[in-house]
Structure 1
């Protein structure tokens, strides 16, 4: 089985009761970038984006933002 890094943008917005637009404003990350991450259309994320999201949402544990999951080979 392979591993895949998953960015948990949808979960973060739900848990924190904010919209993607609001997260964009408080993290200073383009709304389009957050939307692509939330919809699985973007497969990479910079460390600076992780840091900005963590600061904006007062997150202390990186596992709240990203996760490592098993994926079956096709």
Structure 2
């Protein structure tokens, strides 16, 4: 999937901390784009809306919590 990211409104988590080292996400029409906030000119990951929804559900359910 290719998305036009010109004019994308990138958002960081409110939990990214004072240093701001986090990922940023942007709604890009038919998908969600994710990039590293420290390197906004670098690569971008693109997810379908269904993939993004599955990721958010897993995060909310603790699927990605570290165990030690």
Shorter-chain TM-score bucket reads under 0.3
TM-score (norm 1): 0.27
Kindly indicate whether structure 1 or structure 2 has the higher relative contact order, using CA contacts under 8 Å at least 6 residues apart: 1
